[in-house]
A and B are shown apart, each in its own frame.
Chain A
């Protein structure tokens, strides 16, 4: 029996909603998979597509991006801007051959600790099924290899 694949997932979240939702999951003592590493940003508007690329470069098998529900943004419309960028970036990644299942977007409010825990579990499970992102890791390995010719 092969060992269970533990995917590496990096999450970028806004501090006002999703980070607070993750805290709520903690104070409610909900249990979820330990595969996600969270980076806290002030707002989804601050989350650059560049972050996603760097997460992949660090060997992430999946990336999660999450913030306040539309209309609830602490900064009134940072998340509306983010939504447009994600729409475009997501379709770009798809066109480049990066499965949309590896880059997940969600709205999680400060009250949705349960949703946060559930989502982490689902995403971890989904990415575990997809397997490691070998194709990208091959690119990373290539950068570490000596010249061939």
Chain B
């Protein structure tokens, strides 16, 4: 509550003095435990803002909505640490200018909400670095271990079963802050690299390609996983890829706004034990 009040009054102040044109935050949802994204444009609306442990969604994707930042005005946004990492990647990929973003950083522990120190993306780099060095305990999904224990046939069968449910609604893509392309590869039909039909083959191709496009960029915010209406555990694939780029290239996505994209760069001594 203290953090919520702090940010509410900060939102009011920034909006009143005109130093931001909008605050993107959370408001009460259709049930007591639901929070919905809200866009506050004037200080008298700021009391709609709530901040508690139910505020889970990574809102950073809204920043790249077409035209939102093109007037060069500032926007404030509530972000968890993963959201701040998303902003860093979006900045590194030239999708936004971090100077325009005022961050209302927060994190939760159980029901407790605490504010993060800092206002601009660059000020959190050290903090994000500490997450890289000391990942929170038990952050690895137990299912990951189970999948790793399987033999390839079992793994294939596991994912086949999961992907057979996919209905190709693309909620995973739409919910993801990293999926900002003007045209997604699945919508590119000359040639049609990914089968658009939601048979299992098409679903498999879609999910594999999406995971590859997110490798080194996914911050594990879980937006895709929560958005999936048929509950495919997409987080597992993305976090496996995040582990891979960390192990292989020491790349922790979204460390700072100037980070080089991991798949657009290389080191001459990158590992190649697998190459014959």
Contacts and interface: CB of A to CB of B under 8 A. Distances in A.
B145 interface: no
Contacts of B263: 81, 84-85, 88
B272 to A, nearest CB: 6
A87 B248 contact: yes
A32 interface: no
Interface in A63-101: 70-71, 77, 80-81, 83-100
Interface stretch (B51-59, B128-136, B173-181, B208-216): B208-216
Interface in B3-44: none
A119 interface: yes
A142 B275 contact: no
Interface stretch (A9-17, A21-29, A103-111): A103-111
A95 B202 contact: no
Interface string B171-200: 000000000000000000000011101011
A92 B211 contact: yes
Nearest to A78: B266
Contact of A92 (B153, B200, B215): B215
Contact of A83 (B155, B202, B275): B275
Interface string B79-91: 0000000000000
B268 interface: yes
A2 interface: no
B205 interface: yes
Contacts of B199: 139, 142-143
Contacts of B209: 49-50, 53
Contacts of A142: 199-201
Contacts of B92: none
Interface residues of B, number: 47
Contact of A97 (B157, B268, B270, B272): B157
Contacts of B216: 88
B262 interface: yes
Interface stretch (B96-104, B107-115, B238-246): B238-246
A40 B194 CA distance: 22
A37 interface: no
Nearest to A138: B160
Contacts of A85: 263
B127 interface: no
B78 interface: no
B275 A89 contact: no
A143 B268 CA distance: 42
Contact of A96 (B155, B215, B244, B264): B155
Given A50-B209, A54-B193, A97-B156, A80 B200 contact: no
B244 A91 contact: yes
A140 B157 CA distance: 14
Given A87-B272, A88-B263, A143-B201, 4 more contacts: A50-B194, A70-B272, A105-B274, A119-B276
8 contacts: A49-B212, A53-B194, A53-B205, A80-B267, A88-B241, A92-B208, A135-B153, A139-B204
